[in-house]
Amino acid sequence: MEDIVRRTTTDAVYEALHDEIVSLEILPGTKLSESEVASRFGVSRQPVRNAFT
């Protein structure tokens, strides 16, 4: 049986932000607001807060 991989909202936000940081779409020193990121991804602030940590 194949391993089942669960992807949470926190994982999705983290991966998207990570990709944007690594590709320099988000520049070093850019301030990120929980509420702005949550609004952009259409999620609540909690998964964003978790992704930040």
> What is the per-residue pLDDT across 3-52, written as a single tens digit (0 to 9) for each?
777 889 999 999 999 999 999 999 999 999 999 999 999 999 999 999 99
With 0.75 as the threshold, say if the pTM is over it: yes
pLDDT of residue 1: 56
CA distance 24 to 16: 12
Residue 37: both structure tokens together: 């990121």
pLDDT the model gives residue 6: 82
What is the distance between the alpha carbons of residues 15 and 35, in angstroms, rounded to a whole number? Answer: 18
- Cβ atoms 32, 26 nearer than 8 A: yes
- CA-to-CA distance for 53 and 51, rounded, in angstroms? 5
